[in-house]
Every structure is written in C-alpha cells, then in structure tokens.
Amino acid sequence: MSEKEANRESADGGRLDRLERDRERARQNQAAAERSRREEAELGTSWTGVVLGLLTALGAALILSGIIGGVVAALLGGGGSSATEGGVAGVVGLLATLFLAYIVGGYAAGRISSRSGLKHGLLVPLAGLALIAMLAAIGAVAGAGLLDNLGGVALPAVPDGAPQNLSAILSVSGVLALLVPFLGGAVGGAWGARTGRRRGFERR
C-alpha cells in the first residue's frame, strides 16, 4: 500500500470516527431530553413556585407603579395635558408596570420550579386574577373596597366625567391589562426555568 493510500484510509477512518461520535452525542442529547420530559411530567406543578412568583409580581408592581407612572407621565403628560393625554399616560404606565412585574414574577416561578417555565409563568397571572376575584367577592360581601389600594394590579377604572374617547381608551386597556400579565409571565417563566436548569446542570 502506498503512502498516499494509507493517508487517505487514515483520513476516511477519522471521518467515520467523528460521524460516530456525533451520532452518539445526538443519541445522548435525545435521551437526556426525553428523561427531562419524563421528570417534569412526574414532578408536576410547583405551587410553591407559583405562589412565590405571584408575591414577587405583586411586590414588583407596587415598587414599579410609582416609578413607571412618574416617568410615563413626564414623557406623555407634560404641562397643561388634557384629560385624554393624562388617561393615555396612566394606561401606558399601568400596562408597562404589569408587563415588567409579571416578567419578574414569572421568572421567580420558573427559576424556583426549574421546569415547565411557560406553564409556571402563565399560572402566576392566573393566580393573580383568582386573588383579585376573591378579594372583590369578599369586599362585596363585607361592603369594603379591598381592591381600591391595589394600584398597578387591579384593572383601571373610568374617571367621572371622562370624555368619550378616554372611556374607549380605558375600556381597551382593561382587555390589555388582562392579556399583558400573561405575556409577561410566559416570557419570565421560560427565562427563569432555563436559568434554573442551567444552574442545576452546573452544580452537577
């Protein structure tokens, strides 16, 4: 056998070895992903993560509401602003607060559970809606407005004597205020679960 043929055969053998190693690595990754899916199904929902995520979201909303409200009012509702401009500034501030707060809450839930981040992130705003409904029901029975002080969490109300176009803006914001927390929770939950899994692998 000539030296050229020997080199060619050696190169072919090296390529075959690399292909086999790549196939083996792909099989291992697939097996690991399947194992992870089975473990997630067995573990189920981390309600501790959901509750702590909700508390985190509510705390973040209380902190962010004043900061974002002031910034948005300064940007959109300058001096001599009309009722409509002030209403738009309030709505934008509320939606920004909800989105960021539930990103933080969803991240906490996903990070704690380290699995099913999208599910845990979506459960955080769902738990928030359940809490608001429960407080509203208790307030109706007791004759007290328990939701009056939940700025940045409860849905916006139309001010007395508001113009027609402002009423339309606030009614649309009510729908958005229901959807935005779920969007933020989904983003934060997926992010938190991915971080939790990566930290878990690093510890191993």
pLDDT of amino acid 138: 80
If asked whether residues 163 and 120 sit together in one domain, one would say yes
pLDDT tens digits, one per residue of 23-42: 888 887 776 666 665 655 55
Q: Which of 139, 161, 115, 127 shows the shortest CA–CA distance to 50?
A: 127
If asked whether residues 51 and 6 sit together in one domain, one would say no
If asked whether residues 32 and 63 sit together in one domain, one would say no
If asked whether residues 63 and 158 sit together in one domain, one would say yes
If asked whether residues 61 and 34 sit together in one domain, one would say no
pLDDT at 84 over 80: no
If asked whether residues 15 and 56 sit together in one domain, one would say no
If asked whether residues 16 and 83 sit together in one domain, one would say no
Residue 39 lies in domain:
1-43
For the chain, what is the domain count? 2
> Does residue 36 or residue 67 have the better pLDDT?
67
Sequential DSSP letters for 7-43:
HHHHHHHHHHHHHHHHHHHHHHHHHHHHHHHHHHHHH
Report how far residue 124's alpha carbon sits from residue 120's, in angstroms, rounded to the nearest whole number: 7
If asked whether residues 100 and 130 sit together in one domain, one would say yes
If asked whether residues 167 and 93 sit together in one domain, one would say yes
If asked whether residues 51 and 141 sit together in one domain, one would say yes
With cut-offs at 50, 70 and 90, classify the pLDDT of residue 75: confident
Mean pLDDT score of the chain: 75
pLDDT tens digits, one per residue of 101-152: 999 999 999 999 888 889 999 999 999 989 888 877 887 777 655 555 554 4
Q: Determine the average pLDDT of the residues in 11-21.
A: 68
If asked whether residues 37 and 132 sit together in one domain, one would say no
Which tokens is 96 given?
């920004």
Pick the range with the lowest mean pLDDT from 2-11, 51-60, 93-102.
2-11
If asked whether residues 71 and 5 sit together in one domain, one would say no
Pick the range with the lowest mean pLDDT from 85-89, 123-127, 160-164.
160-164
* Residue 126 main-chain phi, psi, to 5 deg: -65, -45
